[in-house]
């Protein structure tokens, strides 16, 4: 698995050896100098400088010049520049090297702009092609020279580095989610997490089926019952300063209740490696074919954790990946079965396809036991959320408005959109069971909300937010910085949340 294929360099001057030169269309002066044309001439060629528009022109050095529209220059923030960079990368997909001034265009913090440009270039060219014999559809772009005016070069260099780290993580999560069920079982993703741990100075512990049984994780065991592949729960711990500091801290734990306790955030990811629905078997349509990506939450969580050391995250972050597939068989969980979950609550199964909440329940219980300052879970949880909000945004629900606000802010700052839905307690009765503490489904109405109300039963009142990513987990086409297939939505959002997290 090779993720990002582009090598980046930042140079204070333009390098004439580059084969293509992408420039942002902002001012008339730049047009005349870099493109060698006036705006009128470009307009005559149909290029108006609209965001995402590109025009490829030959230049005097027998290279290509690519004009990239950034729209109204005054509005060219990180989101705009990420989108423009993605358009440039698509236009340059037939050349191997590119020089661009894009990182010095746009408005706002220069590091943030350079980061966004780098993200756009990488995300729009990445493709999971391990299983293609012919790699033709892949972008040829392998080297990018970012031109930086001297005064901006420190900020731009920093942004490019951050962008590379973050986009690399997104590509990694996309690859995991695009992998077919047989290519990535629960055990395999856990092994992958161990490898990431060794590379990223984070502690990774893997729990197998016997351990999950012993821990009373009835949700994980119940969902896994139909599968020949055993489940895995992966716990990942990041401590600023790395593993050595973490070891020292835990040795000192009993002494001096440290006043310097860092804000502690826990991420919980749904890792359903393949969701067939189980006994409540899904029909064989394209939605079902997408269910290899039902571990997109866990992938986003793992990818996020892989970046924290490199980015110098100042908060303590712990993660749980709840990994198993959901399959029908003679041993599978049946309708009417009652599971006893990690926190002791009992759940009557009314639809084996509502499995995500069962594995998340155990993850949330384990997270709450650590008494963190907040928990966020991320899950491809309900078709209802996809119906309500479509593929462009996730739904967010939670029990603590200041923390939900932090999640919404992280979504805004990364252009991974979200929309808050109400955690309406009046709907709690929809998941009442006459035999157990609750049912695992609430009927046809307000499906995203009843799913969240179910999850809330396992948070023990810890500030918590739930991201339902059933909509944006998948893209049907190559568009902007998205590529067809699994999107790894939430990776950049969670990284931003982890970096900026404050105890709510």
Pair 358, 247: CB distance under 8 Å: no
Q: Which residue is nearest to Zn ion (CB)?
A: 275
What are the φ/ψ torsions at residue 67 (nearest 5 degrees)?
A: -85, 135
Task: Report the alpha-carbon angle 494-237-406, nearest 5.
Answer: 25
Q: Does 353 bind Mn ion (CB under 5 A)?
A: yes
Which residues have CB under 8 Å from 81's CB, separation 6+? 24, 70, 102, 103, 105, 106, 113, 116, 117, 120
Smallest distance, Å, CB 33 to ligand BES? 48
Which residues have CB under 8 Å from 247's CB, separation 6+? none
Q: Is 270 a known active-site residue?
A: no
Out of 69, 356, 395, 485, the only residue in the binding site for Zn ion (CB under 5 A) is 356
Q: What DSSP designation does 458 have?
A: T
Q: Is the dihedral of CA 223, 227, 229, 230 positive or negative?
A: positive
Q: Among residue numbers 14 through 73, which ones bind ligand BES (CB under 6 A)?
A: none
> Which residue of the set 282, 310, 314, 412 is catalytic?
282
Q: How many C-beta atoms lie closer than 10 Å to residue 249's C-beta?
A: 16
User: In what helix (H) or strand (E) does residue 273 lie, and over which residues does it extend?
Assistant: strand 264-275
Segment contacting Zn ion (CB under 5 A): 58-66, 232-240, 276-284, 294-302? 294-302
Q: Which is nearer to ligand BES, 117 or 386 (CB)?
A: 386
Q: Among residue numbers 261 through 290, which ones bind ligand BES (CB under 6 A)?
A: 275, 287
Q: Among residue numbers 294 through 313, which ones bind ligand BES (CB under 6 A)?
A: 294
Q: Does 485 bind Zn ion (CB under 5 A)?
A: no
Q: Which is nearer to Zn ion, 288 or 314 (CB)?
A: 288
Smallest distance, Å, CB 377 to Mn ion? 16
Q: Residue 388 binds which entry of Mn ion, ligand BES, Zn ion, none, with Cβ cut-offs from 5 to 8 Å by kind?
A: none
Out of 14, 93, 208, 351, the only residue in the binding site for ligand BES (CB under 6 A) is 351
Pair 168, 152: CB distance under 8 Å: no
User: In what helix (H) or strand (E) does residue 96 lie, and over which residues does it extend?
Assistant: none
Q: Is 484 a known active-site residue?
A: no
Q: Which is nearer to Zn ion, 95 or 322 (CB)?
A: 322
Distance (Å, whole) CA 10 – CA 149: 10
Q: Which is nearer to Zn ion, 58 or 283 (CB)?
A: 283
Distance (Å, whole) CA 12 – CA 149: 5
Q: Residues 361-380 vs ligand BES: string with x where CB under 6 A?
A: -------------------x
Segment contacting ligand BES (CB under 6 A): 6-14, 140-148, 383-391, 478-486? 383-391
* Chain centre distance of CA 489: 4
SS3 state at 102: helix
Out of 67, 272, 397, 494, the only residue in the binding site for Zn ion (CB under 5 A) is 272
**What six digits make up the tokens of 69?**
């529209």
**What six digits make up the tokens of 35?**
């493109």
Q: Does 275 bind Mn ion (CB under 5 A)?
A: yes
Q: Among residue numbers 436 through 495, which ones bind ligand BES (CB under 6 A)?
A: 441, 447, 470, 473
Task: Report the alpha-carbon angle 261-264-268, nearest 5.
Answer: 160
Distance (Å, whole) CA 308 – CA 423: 31
Q: Which position has the token pair 């804000």?
A: 263
Q: Does 353 bind ligand BES (CB under 6 A)?
A: yes
> Which residue of the set 270, 357, 439, 492 is catalytic?
357
In the chain, how long is the greatest CA-to-CA distance? 79
Segment contacting Zn ion (CB under 5 A): 241-249, 290-298, 363-371, 393-401? 290-298
Q: Among residue numbers 445 through 504, which ones bind Mn ion (CB under 5 A)?
A: none
Out of 78, 79, 355, 457, the only residue in the binding site for ligand BES (CB under 6 A) is 355
Q: Which position has the token pair 């119906």?
A: 387
Instruction: Return the CA Rg of the chain.
Output: 24
Which chain residues interact with Mn ion by CB under 5 A?
275, 353, 355
Q: Which residues are catalytic, by number?
A: 282, 357
Which chain residues interact with Zn ion by CB under 5 A?
272, 275, 294, 356
Which chain residues interact with ligand BES by CB under 6 A?
275, 287, 294, 351, 353-356, 380-384, 386, 441, 447, 470, 473
């Amino acid at each position: 698995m090779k993720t990002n294929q582009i090598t980046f360099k930042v140079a204070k001057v333009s390098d004439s050896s580059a084969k293509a030169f992408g420039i942002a269309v902002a001012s008339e002066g730049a047009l005349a100098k870099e493109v060698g044309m006036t705006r009128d001439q470009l307009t005559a060629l149909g290029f108006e400088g609209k965001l995402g528009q590109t025009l490829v022109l030959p230049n005097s050095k027998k290279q290509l010049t690519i004009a990239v529209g950034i729209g109204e220059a005054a509005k060219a923030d990180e989101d705009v520049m990420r989108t423009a960079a993605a358009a440039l990368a698509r236009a340059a997909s037939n050349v191997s090297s590119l020089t661009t001034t894009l990182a010095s265009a746009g408005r706002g913090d220069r590091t943030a702009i350079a980061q966004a440009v780098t993200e756009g270039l990488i995300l729009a060219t990445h493709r999971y092609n391990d299983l293609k014999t012919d790699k033709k559809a892949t972008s040829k772009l392998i080297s990018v020279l970012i031109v930086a005016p001297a005064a901006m070069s420190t900020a731009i260099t920093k942004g490019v580095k951050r962008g590379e780290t973050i986009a690399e993580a997104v590509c990694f999560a996309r690859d995991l989610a695009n992998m077919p069920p047989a290519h990535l079982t629960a055990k395999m993703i856990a092994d992958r997490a161990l490898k990431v741990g060794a590379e990223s100075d984070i502690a990774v512990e893997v729990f197998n089926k016997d351990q999950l049984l012993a821990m009373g994780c009835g949700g994980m065991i119940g969902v896994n019952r139909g599968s020949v592949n055993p489940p895995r729960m992966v716990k990942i711990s990041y401590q600023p300063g790395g593993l050595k500091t973490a070891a020292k801290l835990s040795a000192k734990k009993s002494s001096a209740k440290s006043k310097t306790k860092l804000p502690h955030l826990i991420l919980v990811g749904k890792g359903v490696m393949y969701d067939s629905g189980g006994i409540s078997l899904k029909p064989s349509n394209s939605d079902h074919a997408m269910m290899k990506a039902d571990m997109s939450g866990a992938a986003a969580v793992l990818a996020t954790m892989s970046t924290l050391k490199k980015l110098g995250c100042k908060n303590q972050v712990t993660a749980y990946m709840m990994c198993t597939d959901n399959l029908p068989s003679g041993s599978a969980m049946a309708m009417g079965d009652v599971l006893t979950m990690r926190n002791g609550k009992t759940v009557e199964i009314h639809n084996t396809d509502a499995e995500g909440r069962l594995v998340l329940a155990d993850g949330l219980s384990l997270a709450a036991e650590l008494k963190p300052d907040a928990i966020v879970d991320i899950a491809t949880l309900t078709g209802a959320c996809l119906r309500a909000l479509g593929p462009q945004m996730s739904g967010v629900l939670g029990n603590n408005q200041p923390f939900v606000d932090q999640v919404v802010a992280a979504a805004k700052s990364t252009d991974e959109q979200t929309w808050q839905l109400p955690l309406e307690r009046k709907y709690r009765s929809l998941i009442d069971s006459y035999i157990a503490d609750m049912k695992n489904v609430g009927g046809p109405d307000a499906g995203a909300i009843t799913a969240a109300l179910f999850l809330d039963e396992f948070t023990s009142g810890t500030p918590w937010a739930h991201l339902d990513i059933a909509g944006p987990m998948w893209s049907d086409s190559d568009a902007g910085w998205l590529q067809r297939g699994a999107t790894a939505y939430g990776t950049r959002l969670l990284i931003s949340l982890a970096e900026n997290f404050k105890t709510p």
